[in-house]
Structure formats: structure tokens, C-alpha cells
Structure 1
Amino acid sequence: MWTTLGEISNYGECNNVSVDSITDDDWVLELEDLEKDTAKIIQTLSRSKRSIKGVRHRFNKGDILYSKLRTYLNKVLVAPQSGYCTTEIMPFNSYCNVSSYYLNHVLRSAYFLDYTQQCGYGVKMPRLSTTDACNGMIPLPPLAEQKRIVKEIEHWFSLIDVIESGKEDLQATIKQAKSKILDLAIHGKLVPQDPNDEPASELLKRINSKAEITCDNGHYTQLPIGWEVVPMQMLCSLTDGKKLDGKEMPNLDVKYLRGERDFKTLTNGRYVAANNLLILVDGENSGEVFRTPIEGYQGSTFKQLHIAENIHTDYLLHVINLHRKSLRENKIGSAIPHLNKKQFKAIEVPVPPYNEQVKIVAAINSAQDRLDTIMENL
């Protein structure tokens, strides 16, 4: 039969208590302690670990805890133990022939959430009023069927949890696999060697004729013959674009380049041409590289990244990507952390012959495309 929440529960009849009467060991539940999508309890803190004032609702083990805030109406659960909660959570009991667990699932269902979204009051933090909650229609089967429904839901939810856990494990494995592919690539273990390739020492001499290049790198015996190891600063440089005034052009900042918003137009700044590389040097993700889709002004958090002509651009970008984690963990500065340029320039880059760089890039891209396809279909 159809009924209402008010007819089958004591919704709205709260036991309010002053925080002064809550002991240090009592559990105090706040909205942020509940995960939004699942309403799982993220943390359980006692009164002694909370800085709270005013009043709280008292609840008992087995009570339904229901968030009144319309933004968090899917934060509904059956209390696993007694405690106290914020007044933004409504604790209540269902009556004798209504399973609290069944009612919990109804309140979290798309059907009931659709109803609650049509109600509510307030502008900043819209809430579900007690009257609207109590008027919410509830489909009520016999008690035995309620229990069978709960058992079936929990069976499927447990399977979904296993799948989600496996998905997270697989995503982590894919990330590790990508990193391992890059590591194998820059140590000459991803593609077969061709003894007829021009050794890397020759292309490095073309990059810097004054550099002293020792063939075959005796200090790096783990690398194939014909490879060299040189510091990053020999292969690329970080610069600022030429200043321009009086010309309207897009500001190529990080949010635009990530596709998070449209560009803003500036009338002056440091010019960067289309199809150039910008490396993020300020902020949490220092070391991230972008290719400019259009010409414009270089964003204030960037430097232009210029890669030597005799190095395959994508090969060096893969090397940089492999060191991203280390660059993030070793940023300098406190107020605005930024790229440790000294560390960046000192990165030791294994350089294979140019033809092998081309093969390595193709192999990396092929492997990562397959992994991306798997990730997209999880």
C-alpha cells in the first residue's frame, strides 16, 4: 500500500540536548563524516575531538539518520550505535511493522530523491521541511517482503562494492603500468636495438659541438651501446616569450589549456606562438606540459619549453612525464610552491639514437592507447 513517512515513523520528534551534557567519549556525528554518494561513515569522532557549540540531536542504535539539507539528501543511514548528531541530521524511528533498513533504501531511492528536490526552503542552504518530509509517499510491502527486498539490495550492493574495489585496483595497476612502460623505454628495454643506427653521441655533438661526449657511457653499463646520458639542460631550455603591448590576444592560462574555461583576452603580455610547449612552473602540478592550440600570451604560471632540434620532442616529453612525481614532491617555495628548476635541469636523460627515439615513442603511444581504452571502458 501507499503511505506517508509521517504515518509510519516519528519523523520530526527529536531529542535535543545541549553539547554541555555530552560526555567526552560520546560519538558526535557531523555531515562531513558521511560520504555523499554512499552515506558510508568516513570517520567516527568523539566529543573530545570536536569543537562544537549549541545543541545536538540524540539518536539510538537502529535509528534512521536523515540529512535535511537538500544538497545532501542522499546522506541517509541506519545508526550502527548510539550518539549525537548535528541538527542538520534528523534521527527518527520507523514503527513496528516497518523495517528501518527498508525505509532507509526508499529514502535513498531516485524516486524519493526526485520528490525531495521539488520541495525545500531557504536560498543559501535549502532544506527539506518536516512537513514536506512527512508528506513524502512511501510504497509499503508486507514486512516479510521488506526483509527480502533489503536482503536482495544488500546482495547486489556487496557485488558492486567488489566491482568498484576491483576497478580502483585496476586503475592503480594501469597507472603503474604506464610508468613502467616509460621506465623500460628510457632504459632501452622497450624496442629492439639496431646496430646500424647513428650513435647518440653524434646527434648530441650537433646539439652542442663544444660538449664533451664520451661514447657508450661507461658509467651507465645498463644502457644499450650507442646510448648516452646527459643532463636535461643540454636538451631543452625554459624561457619567457617576448613582451608585446597593444595587441589583443588570448591569455593561455592553465584553466584554458585544460579545457576548464574559455580564454580571456589581454592587450599585453609575453607572446607564445601556436603549437609551442608551455611547462607549468608554479602551483601544485609543476612540471605539467601543454601544447598551445593557438597563439596568445603566455600564462603567468608558465615558462616556454624549447626542445633541441636533434631530439625527438615526444621522446623528451615522455622523459619529463616520468619525472613528474619527483618534480611535484620537490617543489620549492611556501606561499606559492614552484618548480625546482635546478632539479629539472639536472635530470639525467638517457638518449638513444634518433631512429630508436622514433620507435620508442611509437611503442609508448601504442601501449598507452590500449591502456587508456581499458580505463575508459571500466
Structure 2
Amino acid sequence: MDAQQFLEEFGHIANAPGGVGKLRELILSLAFKGELCVPSNEISATLLDDIERQRLEFNGETRKQRLTRQSNTTTNLVGPYEIPKHWSWVSLSTVGHTWGQKKPEDSFVYIDVSSIDNKAGVLRQSPEVISASAAPSRARKVVKKGTLVYSTVRPYLLNIAIIDRDFDLEPIASTAFAIVHPWEGISGRYLYFYLRSPIFVRYVESVQIGMAYPAISDEKFYSGVVPLPPTEEQSRIVAKVDELMALCDKLEAQQQARRKLQNALRQSTLQAVASATSPHELQTTWACLADNFGRLFHEPEDVDDLVAELKNLAVRGLLSEASTTSPDLEAIKIDCAQMRARYIADGLIRRQKLVGMADCEETYPAHWAVTAFDEVAIVIGGVTKGRDLRGKQVMVCPYLSVANVQRGHFKLEGLKSIEIAADELAKYQVHEGDLLITEGGDWDKVGRTALWRGGVTNCLHQNHVFKARVPSKQLLNEWVELVFNSGVGRDYFAGASKQTTNLASINMTQLRSFALPIPPLIEQQRILSVLSELTKHCNEWCRQMERKQAMSTLLAGAVVSSLTGITIEQEEEPMKAPQTELVAPLRLGTTPDIKAQAPLATILARHHGEMSAKDLWQRFGGEIDAFYTQLKTEVAHGWILEPAPAEMREKLADSVSA
């Protein structure tokens, strides 16, 4: 890919998810291949001779350092790619030295991993000062101004920095760092950028050990190779990288500003929709939203705001035509009173005085009813731990905690169990159709509501999760779930909750007194149906955006790879096969040049030159149409042999094939 092609593809890279990061990778990759600057007239061999002289004069190399350096010193050290002829591949043990280790004897400046600002790549302003008696056992490595520190623990975090100042007290670093103090003629900034480059990152990934807490040993670190240009060229490379990184920072800031403006515009438009007071006004504001959809929604999570507003519109009765009848509130209350009487008689709940309805600030259609939740539903508290079970028949049951109850669904992974008396099962067991409402936690957990649809035998609910049962067939559980999870419910629970620091909670009385709007049954059904259909469209928009982002990411990676000649493996995710079948295996033809845009041939080359078309498509990671277009391009160039026959045929439906 030449400069013109890069400029044509620049927008695709920059606007892809993580695109600016890809540009930074591209800059660093090109820098350390010698493609950012005009080459020097000098050769690095002269610099290496001078480094050897400095090392002999330094006379401070430990035996371990010497053995590491000597084991990585060859006259023709081979690197992972081709570099300019006047450069040299050398090991990290060659380009710098350490200052040894010591146990602190006086107060010192302690530099540990938390002292590094890994985004800016610098030391934080005020590293910790520690007395010798309080020194951690890891405080051992001596550093000085100009020393480069590299965290060998969780290296993917890139906790790398240059000690950029002198301190009044001696600075000592943690043994979690590998230390490189560059010899004269070696730019510390050059090494810093190289250690952050995708080239060195991939090397570290290949030699690190551990999964949850990966680390690279000092020996493996110092064995890593560095492409070394002459000193003057190092300086020019660093200057160019600094210049281009500053442009990336500016681009990133512009994208963030654009994103902030876009979010504000989206919120304003959605607010106009949410503020509609009539179907006609809703139609007008909705048309404005639809006309500007592409400008307002760019990320999958943006659509969450739209779904939230749709719920608010639904609860206010603006998603469907108004009914000509009113709900029979008295009949709903009678159904609830009859169930309450049975539960009291069976010992499932205690006799309680009905609570009054909380103040209702919302405006609902005139033909709807509004009443306290307590008059139309039974609310039951959950089981507590530590109950006295002596002398009772005990059974072990799974239970729902606050973490299991989400808005509109349940997370049942890692469901915990509790011991209860067998005669209490009927009181705390959840049944299909029960509403589970969370008592509290952090702000987003208060009043989360989900409708239980079964699937777990003898499942209970704990005391921080309320269970509510709506006995009347004229009031749908799904409607109550919608109201509680809408802005109406969330605002009420947030305002009514007991607030402590970052936590909040509601009590049973506050839940029972919630002012519940009740439309006629037929209107509840219509609203829920319309909302379900609109939500399906929103989910499809999300999927389309996710696919678009995935394609953008793949394209950005492919462009960067074609420019640098360094292949970056894309994560292979399982994909759902379309209702088509690609016929005939695909075989590698002429091996493409490393800079050619031939992702399919590249994949084939890594898999012995042949694989099924379906497997190749799945590893390609794009839409089927994009894959087929790319396939035809690479067949035309001869990189992939013409399949025989090269066709796609529709899969027969299961019923037909059976």
C-alpha cells in the first residue's frame, strides 16, 4: 500500500473502534523499520564499538548481567523483520546497564508500579517517600535520572517510564521492574517508544508466563532484541514519533469532543420525544429522530438511551391508541384482597395494615387508574441467613440475590444455596409469574425488577430481594415489570431510597406505596406489543452497529498490517452460518507479497494452503457478501486458485432435507 492508498483508507482506520490506537501502532511499527525518516550516512557499528568502550570503563557489570549480555551477543543477531543495512539488531542487555541492587539504609523515594502514569509514560508527580525501617522487601533496584523502568509484571499494562528528574532522596525501584540505563549514544526515548511498540509487545507475549497474572523474567526481557540505528537517526525518529503522536492526541481529542456533542444532541432529541404530550407531537418529534438517526446513534450503547425512552413513552400511554374503556380497579383490588386473606390464613404472610399511595407527580391518560401497589399485589420479604434450624427438617435450596436480579432478566450463573426449614419452602419459593424486586445496593440496583419464568427447582429469594404477586388477570405482570424498570419506577425508587455514601435501599413500605398506573387490559397488551416490536428493531440496530464496528476493526488491522508488513492475528469468534453453503475447497495460488491486500490468501498460507470455504469465511470474520467480494478479488490476482465449481447454493430447509 502506497501513501495515496493510505490516505484513502485513513478515515476507515481513524474512525474504527480503537482506530487512533491502531494509528499509534502504525507509527511505532514504521519507526522501528526505518520508514519514518531519511536514513543516516553513519552506521550503527560505530556506535556499538563506542558502547563496548563505555562498558569496559563502567566496570560495574554484575556476573549475571555479563552472562545475559554474552548469551545474546552474536555478530549477526537476527531480528523478526528486515531493517536498513546500516542498522543492527542488538539485545536490550547491550544498549544499557543497571545500577545494581541494595537494601535501603536511609529514607528513600520508592518507585513502584503505582508510581507510573502508564498512559502518559511518565512518573507521577510525588512518588512515595519511605523510611528504611518501613522499606518493602521489593524495594531493591537502584535508579537514577535517565533510567528507564519497565514493569515485568502484567506487562500488557505498559507501565514504562523514564526517570525524568533528580530527587533529594535516593530513588529505589521495585524488583517488579526491569532496569535499563542507556549508554551514551542511546536515546532513552527511542528505547521507551520501542518497548511500547507492537513489535516488542508481541515478543513479550511470546515469552511471558502465567495467565491471570502474566509476567516476563528479567532474563527474557534483556534477551529481547532492538533495531539500533546511529545516534543521530535515533533522535530524528524520536522527533518524528513525538510529532505524529501529538497529532494522534489532537485527533483523539477532536473525536471525544465530537462524541460529547453527539451525545448532547441525542439526549436533546430523545428528550423532545419523551416530552411529547400527544400522539401528534410524538409523531413529529419521532420523525425528527428517524431523519437524523445516523447522526445520533454511532455506538451500540447509544441505542440503550432510545430503549429507555421507549419504555418511558410506553408507561405514559403514548405508544398506542387509547382504549375507550377504563380498568375495573375495584375488581383488581378484590382479587388481591382475596389472595391476601388466603395467604394470611395459610401463614405465608402476616396481617398488615394497607399503606397509602405515595405522591404521584406523573401525568397519565385520564381513563387510566392509579393506585398504591399494595392494593393490587402481595409483597413478601425474602429468607435470611443464620436462621435457627435446630430440631427442624432442613433442606438446601438455591436462592436469588441482588446480583441475580437484573432489569428485565436474571443472571443465574453461580447461583448460591441456603439451608431452610422444609415447612418454610412455600413462603419463600418463587413461582412462574412472580416479580422479583431488589431492595438496594449501588444506585443502579435499587428497584431492579424481573419476571420469574421458572427453570430452577425450589428456588428461593433472599431478604434483600422482594417477591411480588399480582393475582388479578386484569393486571399483567409484564406491565408492572415495565413500569418499575422505566424512568417512572427508577426515579421513584431513587427518590424514596435510604441513601448512605454510594449505597441506597428501599424498604417494603416504600415498595408497597408505589403509585402504579393501570391502563385497561387491552391497552396494556397493545402497549407491550408495540414496545416489544420497537425493542426488536433497536436490538437489530445494535447488532448492525456491532457488525459494522467489527468490520471497521478488521479493516483497520488489515490496513496497518499491509503498511507495516507485520501480520496481526484477529480474534476468531464463532459466527452463525447463513442460509447458504460455499461449495468446493479453496487452495492457495501464488503467494502474495507481504504488502498485498490479501487477507484470505494470508489465512490459507497459515493453514497449509487449503481449507474449506466455510472455515476460511469464519476466520475472515466479515459478512458473507464482503467475504465473497474479497474472494473474487484474490482469485482474480491469482493468490487463490479458481475453485471448481466456484458457487454458492442455498441450503435446503431442515424440513425439506428430512
How many residues align? The count is 359
Q: What is the aligned partner in structure 2 of residue 312 from structure 1?
A: 476
Q: What is the aligned partner in structure 2 of residue 228 from structure 1?
A: 369
Q: 1:298 aligns with which of 435, 460, 464?
A: 460
Corresponding letter in the other structure for 1:353: P
* Structure 1 pair 297–174 and aligned structure 2 pair: CA distance change class (3 A): same
* Structure 1 pair 124–278 and aligned structure 2 pair: CA distance change class (3 A): closer
1:279 aligns with 2:407: no
Q: What is the aligned partner in structure 2 of residue 112 from structure 1?
A: 200
Cα distance, 1:227 vs. partner? 1.8
Q: What is the aligned partner in structure 1 of residue 653 from structure 2?
A: none
Corresponding letter in the other structure for 1:289: T
Identity level (%): 16
Cα distance in 1, alignment partners of residues 147 and 228 from structure 2: 18
Cα distance in 2, alignment partners of residues 63 and 363 from structure 1: 65
Q: What is the aligned partner in structure 2 of residue 214 from structure 1?
A: none
Cα distance, 1:180 vs. partner? 3.4
Cα distance, 1:298 vs. partner? 0.8
Q: Alignment RMSD, CA only?
A: 4.9
Cα distance, 1:165 vs. partner? 7.5
* Structure 1 pair 185–113 and aligned structure 2 pair: CA distance change class (3 A): same
1:208 aligns with 2:292: no
Cα distance in 2, alignment partners of residues 19 and 183 from structure 1: 64
1:261 aligns with 2:414: yes
1:289 aligns with 2:452: no
Q: Which has the larger radius of gyration?
A: 2
Corresponding letter in the other structure for 1:230: T
Corresponding letter in the other structure for 2:326: P
* Structure 1 pair 348–255 and aligned structure 2 pair: CA distance change class (3 A): closer
Cα distance in 2, alignment partners of residues 86 and 92 from structure 1: 12
Q: What is the aligned partner in structure 1 of residue 269 from structure 2?
A: none
Cα distance, 1:137 vs. partner? 1.7
> Deviation per CA, 1:113-161, whole angstroms, max 9, x where unpaired?
4544565689997754433322222234552345445654664566456
Cα distance, 1:234 vs. partner? 2.7
Corresponding letter in the other structure for 1:288: R
Cα distance, 1:374 vs. partner? 5.1
Q: 1:224 is paired with a residue of what secondary structure?
A: coil
Q: 2:158 is paired with a residue of what secondary structure?
A: coil
1:356 aligns with 2:438: no
Cα distance in 2, alignment partners of residues 361 and 43 from structure 1: 54
Cα distance, 1:82 vs. partner? 6.1
Between stretches 300-309 and 311-320, larger displacement belongs to 300-309
Corresponding letter in the other structure for 2:512: K
1:199 aligns with 2:331: no
Cα distance in 2, alignment partners of residues 56 and 325 from structure 1: 54
Between stretches 322-331 and 162-171, larger displacement belongs to 162-171
Q: 1:20 aligns with which of 107, 113, 116?
A: 107
Q: 1:272 is paired with a residue of what secondary structure?
A: coil
Cα distance, 1:230 vs. partner? 1.7
1:345 aligns with 2:470: no
* Structure 1 pair 43–76 and aligned structure 2 pair: CA distance change class (3 A): closer
Cα distance in 2, alignment partners of residues 135 and 361 from structure 1: 64
Cα distance in 2, alignment partners of residues 370 and 349 from structure 1: 28
Corresponding letter in the other structure for 1:293: G
> Deviation per CA, 1:285-322, whole angstroms, max 9, x where unpaired?
24223434333221425332323432232222122113
Corresponding letter in the other structure for 1:3: V
> Deviation per CA, 1:312-336, whole angstroms, max 9, x where unpaired?
32222122113346536724799x9
Cα distance in 2, alignment partners of residues 350 and 49 from structure 1: 62
Q: What is the aligned partner in structure 2 of residue 327 from structure 1?
A: 493
* Structure 1 pair 179–280 and aligned structure 2 pair: CA distance change class (3 A): same
Cα distance in 2, alignment partners of residues 326 and 18 from structure 1: 61
> Deviation per CA, 1:255-301, whole angstroms, max 9, x where unpaired?
66414336769796543335643333364424223434333221425
Cα distance in 2, alignment partners of residues 375 and 35 from structure 1: 35
1:4 aligns with 2:88: no
Corresponding letter in the other structure for 1:74: L
Cα distance in 1, alignment partners of residues 332 and 321 from structure 2: 23
From the two aligned structures, give the one with the greater helix fraction.
Answer: 2
1:103 aligns with 2:191: yes
Corresponding letter in the other structure for 2:414: R
Corresponding letter in the other structure for 1:136: G
Cα distance, 1:226 vs. partner? 0.6
Cα distance in 1, alignment partners of residues 482 and 115 from structure 2: 40
Q: 2:459 is paired with a residue of what secondary structure?
A: strand
Q: 1:278 is paired with a residue of what secondary structure?
A: strand
* Structure 1 pair 193–121 and aligned structure 2 pair: CA distance change class (3 A): closer
Q: Is the 8 A contact 2:204 2:216 kept in 1?
A: yes
Cα distance in 1, alignment partners of residues 117 and 377 from structure 2: 46
Cα distance, 1:70 vs. partner? 3.6
Cα distance in 1, alignment partners of residues 115 and 100 from structure 2: 23
* Structure 1 pair 71–103 and aligned structure 2 pair: CA distance change class (3 A): closer
Q: What is the aligned partner in structure 1 of residue 313 from structure 2?
A: 184
Between stretches 116-125 and 105-114, larger displacement belongs to 116-125
Q: Is the 8 A contact 2:429 2:459 kept in 1?
A: yes
TM-score between both structures, scaled by the size of structure 1: 0.69
Q: Is the 8 A contact 1:13 1:92 kept in 2?
A: no
Q: Is the 8 A contact 1:16 1:58 kept in 2?
A: no
1:75 aligns with 2:159: yes
* Structure 1 pair 297–85 and aligned structure 2 pair: CA distance change class (3 A): farther
* Structure 1 pair 220–351 and aligned structure 2 pair: CA distance change class (3 A): farther
Corresponding letter in the other structure for 1:311: L
Q: Is the 8 A contact 2:429 2:461 kept in 1?
A: no
Cα distance in 2, alignment partners of residues 364 and 79 from structure 1: 58
Q: 2:414 is paired with a residue of what secondary structure?
A: coil
Q: What is the aligned partner in structure 2 of residue 215 from structure 1?
A: none
Cα distance in 1, alignment partners of residues 432 and 402 from structure 2: 15
Q: What is the aligned partner in structure 1 of residue 113 from structure 2?
A: 31
> Deviation per CA, 1:155-201, whole angstroms, max 9, x where unpaired?
4566456657867856776554444333333233x3244352x213x
Unaligned runs of 5+ in 1: 23-27, 212-218
Q: What is the aligned partner in structure 1 of residue 221 from structure 2?
A: 133
Q: Is the 8 A contact 2:379 2:467 kept in 1?
A: yes
Corresponding letter in the other structure for 1:261: G
* Structure 1 pair 103–41 and aligned structure 2 pair: CA distance change class (3 A): closer
